[in-house]
Chain A
Amino acid sequence: MSARELLTFRNTYFSISVGLAAGLFVLTAIAGFVLLPRLQPELRYADLWDAICGAVGLPRQNVSSGEIPKPSHRLTEAVLTSTTLARPTQESIGRGATLAQRCAICHGPTGISRADSPNLAGQYAAVIYKELLDFRSGARTNAVMSPFAENVSDQDIKDLAAYYAYLPRLPAFHPAEQHPKPRVVIYGAPCGSCHGSLDNKAGSPWLEGQSEAYLKAQLRAFASGQRTNDISQQMRNIARAMTPQEIDDAAAYYASQPPEVVKTTD
């Protein structure tokens, strides 16, 4: 038998193996695309063609779950990637510096707060950007901050983010004595895997040297569901699982840390 005769249906090896493979494919295809969808009435296919389209993987409206419930509060609309606002222009930083005059009353002229507001000097640009967007849209609210954010433009937000990210990180105004790491910071879901000491996930701020009162208030707000602008409930899920003691420990720990350990983004 020559090689040419090998690949013809006259060759029994060829005809049997191709026949078996094709037969099995057709059988499994009929079962997978026609029979099995029929056996699952909860999928509510309109007709055979609809069932086949569903089984091959074409996206379709999920009819079984009915109306999608609307949330009772506004959710964040910020879209972030790890390169959001990377490498801003000098002009943008300069404009941000001018705009930041308005923020200095609470956040300090050098971005270091004396009023238990967050320190912004050297904060990740994506964080400033996201929080300002959320204050403007109402996804996050604060009696003092919300009115400031009401009328800022998209460009203003980007410039402010660029400016504060550009400022050098300084020790907090009244740094407390450094505490050892409490158990929850290490073992919980380790805070540092998002908040900068181990890794930074886009939109998560670094926390070192922030006001203890502020950190505590935010953790409590996440735990109670009063603050809801975290993406996919990430922070609410963490904070809900923390005891009041753990919240106090974590806040006191981060307030006592110098910001040098924080990773930078490029």
Chain B
Amino acid sequence: MLVNRKLILAHFWLAFVVFGLALCLGAWQMFVRSPLYTWISNPEWYYRSLTAHGTVMGYVFPTLVAMGFGYAITESSLQQRLVGVRWAWTGFGLIVLGAIMAMVPVALGRASVLYTFYPPLIGSAFYYIGVVLVVVGSWIWVALMSINLRVWRRAHRGEPVPLAMFANVAGSYLWAWTAVGAALELLLQIIPVALGLKTTIDAGLARVFFSWTLHAIVYFWLIPSYIAYYVIVPRAIGGRLYSDTMARISFILFLVVAMPIGIHHTFADPQVGAGFKFIHSTFTALVALPTLLTVFTICASAEIAARLRGGRGALGWIRALPWQNPIMLAVAFSFVMLGFGGAGGLINMSYQLDATIHNTQWITGHFHLIFGGAIVIMYFAIAYDLWPHLTGRALPNLALVRTQLWLWFIGMIVTTFPWHWVGILGMPRRMAYYDYSNPAIAPEALSVSLSVVGALIVLASGLLFLFILAQSHAQPATDSGTYRFSVAIHPVRSVPLALNSFAIWVALMVGLTVTNYGYPILALATRHDTSVPAVYVGAQ
């Protein structure tokens, strides 16, 4: 039951259009800092583009996808009309307003601070206020998800919450809490300086606040993809979900352990004690659990589908999978990229191993592989799966869809593998220019050039994706039937209250944030000798 299709389509279209624009910037950045181009002569242009790319890809694009998908899940899994449609449009409006407000100063070169803000760099106040508006817009969505679930519960006392909605609400709560870190940083530290009320800033404290957001935000980006693994993939490939309980536990684990781990982003920061870095490092290791559970459950679900299709043997069933089905292709590609990206992540989270690759191009390679690769390819799958139900028109050409997914996968691998490699060679990140004639840097030239080829393939795939979606609007109207999610192999009749509600898990999430972040934040906040003068960007 999809009633508010316009609302959902508006979210998806805006998400994908800004994604297309930011993708062009990304490919341009890869090109101009490679040996294939002399260089733009002005590093400011590079950082301006980088700020726009990061802000769109980090804040606007995934937030809109999560919101649009969240509304679709609410209506189709709960089988009820969305409550608070006007508020939903208000949230969407705030995101549009915030995105424009943030992007104008960036385009003018008055906020080239990169999407992670990097205090004591300070740009135009409008940039930060724009980002805050985007976050506030998304908090409206969080509230709506909670309210809609409550409305459904009142009418369905004691019934298990459909898995899709349970995961969706878990993702929204995670976002609500993780965004608080960046919000505190912006409201208490950066915006007062950007408005001229203060001229100094506690950069160390600001970085700790940001780390609060920076890691769990990745899980917020990731949750729509994980929801798709569980509730779209088994249905789309003609199988059953292996375990509904395992799925719930995975999302609960994300909710609880995604938060108290962010300090692994500040391993090289002197203002955080080594003991806390160790605690966060250990907790980060726990995040591998829900991913391993998910990979196991989805592989088991795929095996069910393959055996239903006549697959035989210990591994022979893999051949019986519907490889012509775009969703099958997407999930396979996603898992491969998640595997490599996750292995790299284990290095990043280890206090000692991280020292070898900290702040090198390895890190950028890593998060592009995980987010741009494993996560975004599932966003494509979500869009392809939902589109016929949103537009009332079939996708015109599945071969084109498969080509697009193949290109994205190949492009991402060709982009990110050499990217990791140059990081191991020691190439630093966040630089606008590298002098490849320098003998110390020359060995990196070939790998960086390969990455550019990958980036162009990725760009071609992204544009093809937009073309496919746009083209489907021009197809003749067809009835796509009701939008459904996967069914578990064992019908879900009753679920323990703990796995059907969020009180324990939200309490644990907040509690662990207090234990793992409380002291580092309080210690820095109460010291008076930690502020440094702000460095204004684009103030001249």
Which residues of A are at the interface with B, using a C-beta cutoff of 8 A? 1, 3, 6-7, 11, 13-14, 17-18, 21, 24-25, 28-29, 31-33, 36-37, 52, 54-58, 81-83, 186-187, 190, 192-193, 198-200, 263-266
Contacts and interface: CB of A to CB of B under 8 A. Distances in A.
Interface in B499-521: 499, 501, 503-505, 507-508, 511-512, 515-516, 519-520
Max chain B C-beta neighbours (<10 A), residue from A18, A32, A83, A200: A32
Contacts, number: 113
B522 to A, nearest CB: 11
A2 to B, nearest CB: 8
A190 B498 contact: no
B278 A187 contact: no
Interface stretch (B38-46, B302-310, B367-375, B403-411): B38-46
Interface stretch (B48-56, B337-345, B531-539): B531-539
Interface string B8-46: 000000000000000000000000000000010111100
B276 interface: yes
B497 interface: yes
A57 B539 contact: no
A208 B271 CA distance: 41
A36 B351 CA distance: 12
Chain B residues touching A, range: 35 or more
A76 to B, nearest CB: 16
Contacts of B364: none
Contacts of B278: 28, 31-32, 36
Nearest to B503: A6
A190 B41 CA distance: 8
B523 A56 contact: yes
A242 B43 CA distance: 21
B504 A6 contact: yes
B199 A36 contact: no
B256 interface: yes
**A-B residue pairs, 9 tightest by C-beta:** A57-B273, A55-B275, A13-B498, A32-B278, A32-B275, A81-B533, A263-B540, A33-B275, A56-B273
Contact of B44 (A6, A7, A199, A265): A199
Looking at chain B's contact residues, the main secondary structure is helix
6 contacts: A1-B497, A11-B504, A29-B279, A82-B535, A82-B539, A187-B433
A11 B496 CA distance: 11
Interface string B138-165: 0000000000000000000000000000
B387 interface: no
B273 A14 contact: no
B508 A18 contact: yes
B503 to A, nearest CB: 5
Nearest to B509: A21
Given A6-B503, A187-B433, A81 B199 contact: yes
A31 B536 CA distance: 41
B282 interface: yes
B539 A56 contact: no
A56 B501 contact: no
B455 to A, nearest CB: 23
A79 B286 CA distance: 46
Contacts of A36: 274-275, 278
A190 B46 CA distance: 14
Nearest to A11: B498
B283 interface: yes
Nearest to A193: B43
B56 to A, nearest CB: 24
Interface of B: 39, 41-44, 199, 256, 271-279, 282-283, 286, 433, 435, 496-499, 501, 503-505, 507-508, 511-512, 515-516, 519-520, 523, 533-536, 539-540
Given A31-B278, A33-B275, A13 B523 contact: no
A263 B503 CA distance: 56
Contacts of B282: 24, 28, 31
A3 B272 CA distance: 38
A265 B498 contact: no
Contacts of B508: 17-18, 21
Nearest to A186: B41
A25 B535 contact: no
A31 B519 CA distance: 17
Contacts of A52: 275
B204 to A, nearest CB: 10
A198 B538 CA distance: 10
A193 B432 CA distance: 12
Contact of B43 (A7, A14, A198): A198
Nearest to B286: A24
Contacts of B534: 81-82
A236 B435 CA distance: 20
A181 to B, nearest CB: 8
A55 B523 contact: no
A198 B256 CA distance: 46
Contacts of A193: 43
A32 B279 contact: yes
B199 A13 contact: no
B41 to A, nearest CB: 6
A231 B201 CA distance: 21
A232 to B, nearest CB: 14
Given A54-B274, A190-B433, A263-B540, 17 more contacts: A1-B496, A7-B503, A14-B498, A17-B508, A18-B508, A28-B283, A32-B279, A36-B278, A52-B275, A54-B273, A58-B523, A82-B535, A83-B536, A187-B435, A193-B43, A199-B44, A265-B539
